[in-house]
Amino acid sequence: MHLIRGLHNLDSVQGALTNGCVLTIGNFDGVHVGHQQVLRSVAKQAKVEKLPSVVMVFEPLPVEFFSPDQAPVRLMNLREKMQAFQATEIDYVLCARFDAHFAGLQAQQFVDSILLQGLNVKHLVVGDDFRFGKQRLGDFAYLQQQGLQKGFSVTDMPTYGVNGQRVSSTRIRNALQKPDLQEAEALLGKAFTFSGRVIHGQKLGRTIGFPTLNLNPKRLQMPVQGVFAVTVDGIAEQPWPGVANLGIRPTVNGHRPSIEVHLFDWDQEIYGRHVDVALRHYLRPEMKFDGLDALTEQIRLDAQQARQYFD
Residue 170 in any domain: the answer is no
Domain ranges, residue 10: 2-162
State how far the Cα of 41 lies from the Cα of 47, in Å rounded to an integer: 10
For the domain that residue 97 is a member of, what is the CATH number? 3.40.50.620
pLDDT digits over 16-43, tens only?
999 999 999 999 999 999 999 999 999 9
Question: Taking the complete model, does pTM exceed 0.85, yes or no?
Answer: yes
Q: How far apart are CA 188 and CA 182, in angstroms?
A: 10
pLDDT in tens, 145-167: 999 999 999 999 878 889 889 99
Within-domain flag for 173: no
| Residues 152 and 242 grouped into a single domain | no
Is the domain of 306 the same as that of 196?
yes
Bridge partners of 25?
A: 56
Pair (215, 157) in one structural domain: no
Mind listing the pLDDT tens digit for each residue in 36-78?
999 999 999 999 999 999 999 999 999 999 999 999 999 999 9
- Alpha-helical segments (H) within the chain: 33-49, 62-66, 78-86, 100-103, 107-109, 140-150, 169-177, 181-188, 204-207, 292-310
